[in-house]
Amino acid sequence: MSRGSQTEWVNPLRDPSDKRLPRIAGPCSMVMFGVTGDLARKKLMPAIYDLGNRGLLPPGFSLVGFARRDWADQDFGEIVHDSIKQHARTPFREEVWRTLAEGIRFVPGTFEDDAAFDLLAKTVKELDETRGTGGNHAFYLSIPPASFSQVLQQLERSGLSTGGNGAWRRVVIEKPFGHDLASAQELNATVESVFPPDSVFRIDHYLGKETVQNLLALRFANQIFEPIWNAQNIDHVQITMAEDIGIGGRAGYYDGVGAARDVIQNHLLQLLALTAMEEPLSFAADHLRAEKEKVLAAVQLPDDLGAATARGQYAAGWQGAEQVLGYLNETGVAPGSTTETFAAVRLEINTRRWAGVPFYLRTGKRLGKRATEIAVVFKKAPHLPFEQTATEELGQNAVVIRVQPDEGVTLRFGAKVPGSQMEVRDVSMDFGYGRAFTESSPEAYERLILDVLLGDPPLFPRHEEVELSWRILDPIEEYWAAHTEPLDQYPAGGWGPQSAHDMLAREGRHWRVP
């Protein structure tokens, strides 16, 4: 059966030759585990409404919640309604809500309760009959990783993991995908024993951001960048994800995990792969993933991990006008915890294109501002035919892709200062999504949830990518575990520990301030 007949409803008014028109999901439902959590309330439910508001969901779309709550359908409906009113990106429209509300169901129960999953299977079957969902159902596991195995086994036991007559069943898994290579392999084996690999969607919400996708357009749709995107012209690459918040109430999850496992293993290594990959044969999932995997397989760790990595914890200080606690004083953090809230690593990619170009990755909490960016910094011109005083403030050319919050691209280059003297200084040419396009960018979860319902997997890492990322990070984590000296402290509102600045300074470079 063709993919279109399985996953995509064809609007009879739509001209099939017009590729600009949005793709609309075919008959289906989404079953959501973990509906009482922040992710479901603040991101997932609003994203589903926003898709409906944009006309991208089928008329009979249904949302089923599963949780340990004594709720009826209408109680869950109120939760969804309030989440949408508070967090949706698009305006609230009563007619859209009424259509969505007709398909809302709730099943109470715990993960070990066979009867609850049998009731869920009955509910899903009723949706097929009354809402025309066609046997197509996605299961979103917005739950702690420790519960994945139990839920997957229940989906298999109750028959929910298996469609029939051309219908599909898919599972969506939130990060973290394990805490090291061994646990990731175990998790992958568990998931793929229940669902076939092409029905498993591992969510990395960074890959759904417009600017991350624009990185591919920037590189491969423009002749001006790709010819110079190599070691002959590029000095180094910096990939930064900075947060200005602390851990909040997440100590139970975060303490013992740390910044490297939480961000570098998934988000930043995915950004590295997209920055460094070769042009794929097409943007079909297999071709795109194959090129990313080649990059991750070619990543080379430095010989001296002590000199090429840095980590630290935020100390008490001022975040803007607010005085904040240090990490060790946060509620729920173990006394003397050695969990890092800042991590930086230096990596190289052992390919012809990138030989000798260092990639610096850093992430941290309680830093100077919230920002995620990829900065491609070019080598200085080999010869400057100017007086030294004419270029004393001239830096290095750079292309900076801003992933969040001010999505866009900046090109930094040298230009002459107006006047009678020949004086050259850095200037910036800036593209911003908000200024260039009238339509606001959809939230990452909108794009990713729609892709799950369509069965379109390019933006979802498969298990090979996950395991390659752990092969990069595991030796670093093992090195840190063997060196248990107290972590460097850095003041809240700053830009990380001094060891991170020293890591670049030893090579004559410095971190950008986003």
Tell me how far the alpha carbon of residue 193 is from its chain's centroid: 25
Closest among 261, 156, 143, 146 to 199, alpha carbons compared: 156
List C-alpha distances in Å: 435 to 216, 406, 407, 512: 20, 10, 10, 24
Q: What are the percentages of helix, strand and coil residues in the chain, rounded to 5?
A: 40, 20, 40
At 227, is the secondary structure helix, strand, or coil?
helix
Residues sharing a CB contact under 8 Å with residue 39, sequence separation 6 or more, in sequence order: 142, 174
The residue from 137, 205, 236, 267 that is catalytic is 267
Residue 375: beta bridge partners?
238, 400
Closest among 327, 303, 310, 412 to 363, alpha carbons compared: 310
Alpha-carbon distance of 206 to 212, in angstroms, equals 7
Helices 45-53 and 73-87, interaxial angle, to 10°? 80
Sort 216 into a burial class: Cβ within 10 Å, 0-12 / 13-18 / 19+.
Answer: middle
Alpha-carbon distance of 39 to 56, in angstroms, equals 21
Q: State the DSSP H helix or E strand holding residue 48, giving kind and residue range, or none if neither.
A: helix 45-53
**DSSP 8-state class, residue 146:** G
The yes-or-no answer on residue 501 being catalytic is no
Q: DSSP string spanning 353-376? A: TTTT--EEEEEESSBSS-EEEEEE
- Give all strands (DSSP E) within 268-378, no chain letters: 299-300, 309-315, 317-319, 322-324, 342-349, 359-364, 371-378
How far does the chain reach from its first CA to its final CA, in angstroms?
A: 49
**DSSP 8-state class, residue 18:** -
Tokens encoding 445? 């979860």
- Sheet with strand 62-67: strands edge to edge: 104-108, 62-67, 29-33, 137-141, 169-174, 200-203
List C-alpha distances in Å: 30 to 44, 131, 449: 11, 13, 9
Active site residues: 267
